Structure 1
Amino acid sequence: MELSRRHLLTTALGFAALPNAGLANTPKLVGWDDLIPPGVPYSEIIGEGEIDMVRDTWLPEFDENATKLNPVLDGAYIKMPGYVLPIDMSTAGVTSFIMVPYVGACVHVPPPPANQLVFVDSEKPWPIDQLWDPVWVTGIMKHELQSTTLAHIGYAMTAEKIEVYEW
């Protein structure tokens, strides 16, 4: 069997494209610091605030930097760790939640700034018995400033995959 130059070239180009095809489906690993735009230090997101002596809590004052979002993440396919703060829950599990950077955020302490919170929707419910476990969430990140009764939120994701975070 004799192969033409065109056939060889087409085959070689096809194989050369294969490694890049796998990269398109690999999520970018993102940490909480990555949600803050480059050049904005965390110390400039939260102001002095005040202490509520009656409730023994600190009430932070956020400035305009708290709603500044990292432009690189809008539309990015990412994977990031966090904790689940349930919003929509049934006996099947949690289908909407706020992903927070630490346990108790928004419930036991004042909420983090908007650019440190991610609203997550998932078709597959996350088990109720695993609410205290840290998770990895994989999906497309979007800029979506929104307010809930718990906090102002800067980012949103539709979870393609949620899994237990392992150290």
Structure 2
Amino acid sequence: MKSWLKITLLTLLGLTGPVAAAPNTPLDWGALPDPAVQNYDDPFRALSPEQFDDLLFAIRLRGRLHQDVGSADERQKWQELLIETEDALAADQIDVDWLLSQREIVIERRERANTSGNPSLNGQTVTLTGFALPAPPDEDGHSVAYLVPQAGMCSHLPPPAPNQMIRVKLRNGWTPAYAHEPVRLTGQLVIAPTDYEMNVVDGLMSMRATFRMDAEIVETLETRDGQTSWSPTLKDRLRAADSRKTGGAHVSD
């Protein structure tokens, strides 16, 4: 059984306190959301794509009829289409008015599910593999990156849910060499929601992260003799960076 499933079951049953993920054993991203708020009633999930399209069509028609727009013939046509669409939904036992009354409730539940962090991981030292995005330095001058579970997120792809994004404070001067660099980070994970705006590939992006990590170990994915492996390269990167700055001298071990 996967580690995230164990954590979820134990937490739901109330049989566990803080759960420490073993350092150097990568934590599954599925363990990060709070399992206590993931299961909730969402009547919109039960709609087929066709039913969802009909619901949106009915909402648009209601909006048009509510406004003082269109000719008398157009408004008559819209009214006929609305009745036809709502009758089709009613035949599938879908109550449009009731669904609309649930929108704010479902939005709140989805927001909680997407932003709440797993309390059993708060303060634990974990190892997590993902893709790093360089970010502006923190207020205290430390280098910062964001860790996301999939390459392309926040640039060519939409950003992940906040509880699937980690704002990482990087130690010892390391920063990602490029956007979405694959890395494996080890450090203390804490629930500390943040919301910063920064420029990424496609422009200004709101970076909402539920978690913060103080990374103590940085491993990058290297290819050697055709084989890919995770190798600690922080010391080599620091030595190379110092060599460029000092014209050949390098940091000591």
TM-score w.r.t. length of structure 2:
0.43
Corresponding residue for residue 169 of structure 2: 121
Aligned equivalent of 1:161, options 190, 199, 217? 217
Amino acid at match of 1:99: L
**Residue 32 in 1 paired to residue 29 in 2?**
yes
Q: CA deviation at 1:32?
A: 0.8
CA offsets per residue over residues 59-108 of structure 1, 9 Å max, x none?
xx85221111101110001000011111136xxxx920110111111122
Displacement, 1:157? 0.6
In the other structure, the counterpart of 2:130 is 82
Aligned mates of 1:145, 1:130 — CA distance in 2: 25
Cα distance, 1:135 vs. partner? Answer: 0.5
Q: Which has the higher helix share?
A: 2
Identity of aligned pairs, percent?
Answer: 28
SS in 1 for 2:187: strand
* Higher RCO structure, 1 or 2 (CA under 8 Å, sep 6+): 1
Tell me the secondary structure at the aligned position of residue 64 of structure 1.
helix
Whether 1:138 aligns to 2:135 is no
Q: Do the aligned residues in 1 keep the contact of 2:114 with 2:163 (CA within 8 Å)?
A: yes
Residue 63 (1) aligns with residue 111 (2): yes
Superposition deviation, residue 41 in structure 1: 4.6
The one-character-per-residue Cα deviations of 1:120-142 (angstroms, maximum 9, x if unpaired) are 01122335535443100000000
Deviation string, structure 1 residues 12-40 (Cα, Å, up to 9, x no partner): xxxxxxxxxxxx9x515311101022255
Contact 1:36–1:42 (CA<8 Å) still a contact in 2? no
1:109 maps to amino acid: L
Give RMSD over aligned pairs. 3.0
Contact 2:117 2:191 in 1 (8 A): yes
> Which range moves more in the overlay, 35-44 or 116-125?
35-44
- Partners of 2:176 and 2:128 in 1: CA distance: 20
- Say which one has the larger Rg: 2
**1: CA distance between counterparts of 2:219 and 2:167?**
16
Pick the aligned partner of 1:100 from 148, 171, 180: 148
CA distance in 2, matches of 1:99, 1:135: 9
Aligned amino acid, residue 190 of structure 2: K
Partners of 2:220 and 2:150 lie apart in 1 by 15
**Distance change >3 Å, CA 119–CA 127, structure 1 → 2:** closer
- Structure 1's consecutive aligned runs of 4 or more residues displaced over 4 angstroms after TM superposition are 39-44
Name the structure 2 match of 1:55. Answer: none
Distance of aligned partners of 1:133 and 1:146 in 2 relative to their CA distance in 1, 3 Å threshold:
closer
Higher strand fraction (1 or 2)? 1
Q: Measured at CA, do residues 151 and 138 of structure 1 come closer, stay the same or move farther in structure 2, by a change above 3 Å?
A: same
SS of equivalent to 2:136: strand
Q: TM-score scaled by structure 1?
A: 0.63
Could you report, residue by residue, the CA deviation over 1:36-62 in whole angstroms, capped at 9, with x for unpaired residues? 222555999xx88xxxxxxxxxxxx85
Any unmatched runs of 5+ in structure 1? Answer: 1-23, 49-60
